[in-house]
């Protein structure tokens, strides 16, 4: 049965930008599961069973939360390539996800949140600005870093542990990608879609990013961005 994936969309519904949805999209591709994509805008939250994305509908099962979805997909489809190999793989992906949340996400927000507010439809934008400003306790214009070169430097500093790791290992998961890779990739793809490519081409992370972008028939690489 085809899984339905609800993805956060801009006013131009081709632009899919949520960091968490990117994790789930990559997870579904990794598992080789059939899925169909449904655009979802913030204003749609009152009309759907789910109030957050990513959301998947798999037969009678509806799930939100990218982490729970990844665990569900491995449990439900153990014969398909695993995202996390047992408790060890889960702990490893959780470690990477927590490093992302504490060291990378805040800087990524200073690059992506403001552009997002300009790309979504007016009704969604009003809701988005109000809720994000309440969450961060700051105006969106203050969360945004006016000096995007400084933001890029801060991002690279936050990712130093991954840059070092990818100097010795092809993927964060080892010889092939695991859910650990998709947790970081989702955040970088968010910036890539709404603003610019946030990684230096000649860095280990830059090469790794291109590799992930090109996986599964170049699914991520082919995704529309603000640059076309």
Question: What is the binding site for ligand GSH (CB under 6 A)?
Answer: 8, 18, 20, 42, 45, 52-54, 65-67, 131
Q: How far is the CB of 121 from ligand GSH (least distance, A)?
A: 14
**Spatial contact of 5 and 24, defined as CB atoms under 8 Å apart:** yes
Residue 85: which residues within 8 A CB-CB, separation 6 or more? 178
Q: How far is the CB of 191 from ligand GSH (least distance, A)?
A: 13
Nearer to ligand GSH, 20 or 179 (CB): 20
Q: How far is the CB of 65 from ligand GSH (least distance, A)?
A: 4
Nearer to ligand GSH, 40 or 162 (CB): 40
Nearer to ligand GSH, 18 or 110 (CB): 18
Tokens of 92: 């490893």
Q: How far is the CB of 18 from ligand GSH (least distance, A)?
A: 4
Nearer to ligand GSH, 54 or 89 (CB): 54
The rounded distance, in Å, linking the Cα atoms of 74 and 71 is 5
For every residue of 44-84, DSSP letters joined together read GGGTSS-SSSSEEEETTEEEE-HHHHHHHHHHH-TTSPPSS
**Spatial contact of 50 and 134, defined as CB atoms under 8 Å apart:** no
Nearer to ligand GSH, 54 or 177 (CB): 54
For every residue of 84-116, DSSP letters joined together read S-HHHHHHHHHHHHHHIIIIIHHHHHHHHHHHH
For the chain, the straight-line distance linking the first and the last C-alpha, in angstroms and rounded, comes to 32
Q: How far is the CB of 201 from ligand GSH (least distance, A)?
A: 27
Nearer to ligand GSH, 22 or 208 (CB): 22
The rounded distance, in Å, linking the Cα atoms of 220 and 17 is 11
Q: Is 15 in a helix, a strand, or coil?
A: coil
Nearer to ligand GSH, 15 or 53 (CB): 53
**Spatial contact of 152 and 160, defined as CB atoms under 8 Å apart:** no
**Positive or negative torsion for Cα 80, 82, 86, 87:** negative
Q: How far is the CB of 175 from ligand GSH (least distance, A)?
A: 26
Q: How far is the CB of 228 from ligand GSH (least distance, A)?
A: 23
């Amino acid at each position: 049965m085809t899984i339905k994936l609800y993805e956060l969309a801009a006013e131009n519904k081709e632009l899919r930008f949520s960091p968490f949805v990117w994790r789930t999209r990559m997870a579904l591709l990794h598992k080789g599961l059939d899925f169909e994509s449904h655009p979802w805008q913030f204003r749609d939250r009152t009309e759907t069973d789910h109030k957050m994305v990513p959301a998947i509908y798999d037969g009678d099962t509806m799930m939100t939360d990218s982490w729970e979805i990844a665990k569900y997909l491995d449990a439900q489809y153990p014969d398909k390539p695993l995202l996390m190999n047992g408790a060890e793989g889960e702990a490893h992906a959780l470690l990477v996800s927590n490093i992302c949340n504490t060291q990378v996400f805040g800087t990524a927000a200073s690059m992506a949140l403001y552009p997002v507010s300009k790309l979504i439809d007016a009704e969604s934008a009003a809701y988005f600005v109000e809720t994000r400003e309440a969450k961060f306790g700051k105006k969106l214009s203050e969360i945004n870093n006016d000096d995007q070169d400084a933001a890029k430097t801060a991002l690279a500093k936050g990712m130093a542990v991954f840059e070092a790791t990818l100097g010795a290992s092809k993927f964060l998961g080892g010889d092939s990608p695991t859910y650990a890779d998709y947790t970081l990739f989702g955040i970088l793809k968010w910036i890539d879609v709404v603003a610019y490519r946030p990684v230096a081409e000649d860095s280990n992370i830059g090469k790794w990013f291109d590799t992930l972008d090109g996986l599964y028939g170049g699914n991520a690489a082919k995704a529309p961005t603000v640059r076309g």
